[in-house]
Amino acid sequence: MTQNNYRLREVTFLSQTVAFRSPAAWKVREATRDNEAEIHLLGPRNQANTYSTSAAIRLAPAQGQTAQAAANELLATYRAAFPCETKGPTPLTVAGVRAYRVEIAYVMPLPLNNVLAQPTPLRESVVLLRHGDLLIELRYAAAEEMYAAWLAVFETLLHSLSFSGKEASAAVALEMTDAFPLALRETRSSYHIEEDENDDASAERQ
């Protein structure tokens, strides 16, 4: 996917604006509530047409919580909810700010609420960072079969993240290079996006 296939998006919360690049063709859902603002991006679906590859950015008040504490809390929530494999938190730098990355793999019966649901392996990568009074969560989720193919979309989001609308020029700098291998090459040159009620399966996890 070339730079021309991406567009600059912005989300503002608590008088702070966060900008990032994401695929121009992915569907966008925006929501702003009293306690958070979110942009959710829906991309290509898995081969069974039961789950949408997605990326999201959520801004919420930090309320004194550090990014590392939020990452540990997220992992604890997943581990308590259902069987899963986890990795992290792994420290990295995003837009000049210390961040923490976690990865979660689990199995969900899909389609949701369907007697014909089949166990479907899913994988998520979540990066948490704090900027001023904001806690920022960046999330990528996909069916296991799609995860590596579209991971570069999430890496582009991280690389381009900036504050006050000025795009960051520095790359994402992993501080533990052997702890979190990245599959950055997209293996699909084209894709098709269809709207379906099962889009909610990926959105509900966010």
Encode pLDDT of 147-203 as tens digits.
999 999 999 999 999 997 454 433 333 333 333 333 333 333 333 334 454 555 555
pLDDT at position 183 is: 32
Q: Which pLDDT score, from 0 to 100, does residue 3 have?
A: 56
Per-residue pLDDT for 47 more than 80? Answer: yes
Res 24: pLDDT:
95
Domains contained in the chain, CATH given: 3-204 (3.40.1000.10)
Planar angle of CA 189, 172, 73, nearest 5 degrees: 100
Rounded distance between C-alpha atoms, residue 110 and residue 51, angstroms: 8
**Percentage of the chain modeled with pLDDT above 70:** 78
Cis, peptide link before residue 91, omega less than 30° from 0? no
For range 45-70, the mean pLDDT: 96
Nearest Cα residue to 127 out of 155, 105, 107: 155
Mean pLDDT of 46-60: 96
DSSP the chain: --GGGEEEEEEEETTEEEEEEEETTSEEEEEEETTEEEEEEEEEEPTTS--EEEEEEEEEE-TT--HHHHHHHHHHHHHHHS--EEEEEEEEEETTEEEEEEEEEEEEEESTT-TT-EEEEEEEEEEEEEETTEEEEEEEEEEHHHHHHHHHHHHHHHHH-EETTPPP-SPPEESSTTTS--------S-------TTHHHHHHT-
Q: Which amino acid is at 19?
A: A
Residue pLDDT, tens place only, 80-122: 999 999 999 999 999 999 999 999 999 999 999 999 999 999 9
Hey, which residues does 85 pair with through a beta bridge? 105
Report how far Cα 81 is from the mean position of its chain's Cα atoms.
Answer: 20
Name which residue leads in pLDDT, 179 or 126.
126
